[in-house]
Structure 1
Amino acid sequence: MRASPATALRALSFAAGFVLLALGATAARAETDLSAVCERAAVEAAANSGVPVSVLKAISLTETGRNRGGDVRPWPWTVNMEGKGVWFDSREAALAYVYEHYKRGARSFDVGCFQINYKWHHENFASIEEMFDPSANARYAAAFLASLHAESGDWETAAGAFHSRTPEYADRYKAKFAEYRARFVHEDGRPLVVTPPLLAVAAAQPSAGGYVGTGDITPRVNTYPLLQGGGQPALGSLFPTGTGGGIGLFARGGAG
């Protein structure tokens, strides 16, 4: 028996609705995975460094927290360009933005899950692309936090110094850090399941022959000196709070 036009239309509408729901669910999963990239990188760095996972997750959230539907989560493609914080939907878009400003002379900018400052720390990475790598970004942040903790013996104090050596800035940062750390402190001491963070963002990688660094962003042989036996950064914070754009997103209003 042939279906009536009305029945066929209802069936078509149902099928179209099902497809839209499926596409929406896929998009939601992709976004959730992207939001989890920094969290996975924090777990990986914690497992390899001994820095509590709650500390690393709280730092990343304080630095890059993005409010999506009322839920604040860290975001890997975050850039603070000379005081202006921007979130991007893809690594490629974030790189394009950074290179555009780099070519005009910008050097004080922060990138990635832990907002590593290019001006003061680029020599510890092979390229800007590597600075954006969630794993590399997290490893460097963990090493620096460990060195700061060795000074004070207190993770909250280390977090404040991670942001700034100036008490005014450090104290404000510590308050937000402590608030966020409370969300994750129950994870400390538990077995850490390390999931490679980049698996979730493979589709966002630029195509071959994409961005090529110029000038002082060419590859360097001696990467990660903090991880190679006692090297110390020139300044006391990954995110200087003096002139320029060295402060993190948190200091400019944070999530939004």
Structure 2
Amino acid sequence: MRGIRAALVALAALVAGGQGAQADWSDFYRPTVREAEPMPATRGSADPAGICIREILRAQLRHQIPGNLLLGIGLQESGMMHEGELTIWPWTANADGDGRYFNNPATAASWVRARQSDGIDSIDLGCMQVNLRWHPDAFISLEHGFDPARNVDYAARLLVSLYEQTGDWVEAAGRYHSATPEYQQAYLGRLKQNVSIANDRLDIFRALAAGAAGGDLPAPVAVASVEPLPEGHFWTSWLTTRSGAADEGARSLYGREVMQPVLPAFRKMF
């Protein structure tokens, strides 16, 4: 198993080299089973700041997604600073470029329904910002869409499905956002940084996941055999705005470290 450092060097080389470098990158991600396991649950109230991370770490192990790639994608899609800590927020929604963080799933679902009544169908939900226009059958209800376990598992299965089609984890990650090469490269350029952050702060993220393991959170979703997932656009509209330009997406930098996460500039509603 290659170490995290070697993986990050390879990732940087891929993004810098563009499409032609992807063929040399097919073995970039290796399962980091020990490093990515959530810590044992701690007593006390469940912390919503760790719910998405808990489900992402579980899904990476369950689906053998290597290199903390899914964790990096989660940071890119629903990452935020909460009480001084970088995390992935479960009740995040983005309707046609208007992205918001909510303090509970009911409020988030109510806001989404209002946007749908306005005729907006490009809406992203939850930890992994699953797009309802491109994936209308992903969830049976908005409540299921905002359930972290269901949301993350759908994203994980799609990632694996695209990897099986392409044979390359990086190409699969790019195709989450779009089948258009220029949009893929813009997405991967940001994802490189967020995967680095995911690995650099893994111990902190594992602690957050442990804090979310208690309390009255729903039990993990049992994964059943499913039909192959669809291809096409998947990730959020904030990276490609209404004008369609790949470099116009709202984004912001947080933290003072040399390597900073690239997070969506969504509004916090609590």
TM exceeds 0.5? yes
Q: Distance in 1 between matches of 2:244 and 2:56?
A: 22
SS of residue matched to 1:138: helix
Instruction: Indicate conservation of the 8 Å contact 1:140/1:227, yes or no.
Output: no
> 1:17-54, CA deviations, whole angstroms, 9 ceiling, x for partnerless residues?
xxxxxxxxxxxx97x92221111010121222111260
* SS of corresponding position for 1:182: helix
Q: Is the counterpart of residue 103 in structure 1 residue 117 in structure 2? A: yes
Letter in 2 for 1:239: W
Alpha-carbon contact 1:156-1:177 (below 8 Å) kept:
no
Q: Counterpart in 2 of 1:21?
A: none
Quick one: which amino acid aligns to residue 170 of structure 1?
Q
- How far is the alpha carbon of 1:124 from its aligned partner? 2.7
Change (3 A) 1:55 1:95: same
In the alignment, structure 1 residue 62 sits paired with structure 2 residue 59: no
Q: 3-state DSSP class of the match of 2:81?
A: strand
* Identity across the alignment (%): 30
Amino acid at match of 1:106: I
Cα shift at 1:199: 5.0
Mean CA deviation greater in 109-118 or 82-91:
82-91
Confirm whether residue 228 of structure 1 aligns to residue 225 of structure 2: yes
Superposed CA deviations along residues 89-122 of structure 1, whole A, max 9, x for unmatched, are 2212111111112223322200000000112213
Deviation, 1:150, is 1.6
Q: 1:196 to 1:119 in 2, by over 3 A?
A: farther
User: Do the aligned partners of residues 122 and 58 (structure 1) sit closer, same or farther apart at CA in structure 2, a change above 3 Å counting?
Assistant: same
My pick for the range that moved more, 106-115 or 177-186, is 177-186
Q: How big is the alpha-carbon RMSD for the aligned residues of Structure 1 and Structure 2?
A: 3.8
Bigger mean CA offset, 179-188 vs 99-108: 179-188
Q: What CA distance in whole angstroms lies between the structure 1 residues aligned with 2:80 and 2:224?
A: 29
Q: How do 1:59-98 residues align onto structure 2 when only pairs under 5 Å count?
A: 59-68=73-82, 71-98=85-112
Q: 1:231 to 1:255 in 2, by over 3 A?
A: closer
Q: Compute the displacement of 1:239 (Å).
A: 2.9
Q: Could you tell me which residue of structure 1 aligns to residue 31 of structure 2?
A: none
**Distance apart, 1:87 and its partner CA:** 1.0
Aligned residue for 2:249?
251
Distance in 2, matches of 1:246 and 1:35, equals 32
Tell me the amino acid that sits aligned with residue 251 of structure 1.
G
The aligned runs of 1:21-40 (5 Å cut-off) are 33-40=47-54
SS of 2:179's partner is coil
Q: CA deviation at 1:175?
A: 1.7
Aligned length: 201
> CA separation in 2, counterparts of 1:105 and 1:182?
38
- Taking a change above 3 Å as real, the CA distance of residues 94 and 246 of structure 1, as seen in their structure-2 partners, is farther
**Does the CA contact (< 8 Å) of 1:114 and 1:137 recur in 2?**
yes
Gap runs ≥5 in structure 2 = 1-43, 252-262, 266-270
* SS across alignment from 2:68: helix
CA distance in 2: counterparts of 1:115 and 1:245, whole angstroms:
20
Kindly indicate whether the alpha-carbon contact (under 8 Å) linking 2:49 and 2:88 is maintained by their aligned counterparts in 1.
yes
Query: Are 2:54 and 1:49 equivalent residues in the alignment?
Result: no
Pair member with larger Rg: 1
2:47 partner SS: helix
- Structure 1 residue runs of 5 or longer lacking an equivalent are 1-28, 204-223
- Indicate the residue corresponding to 2:168 in structure 1: 154
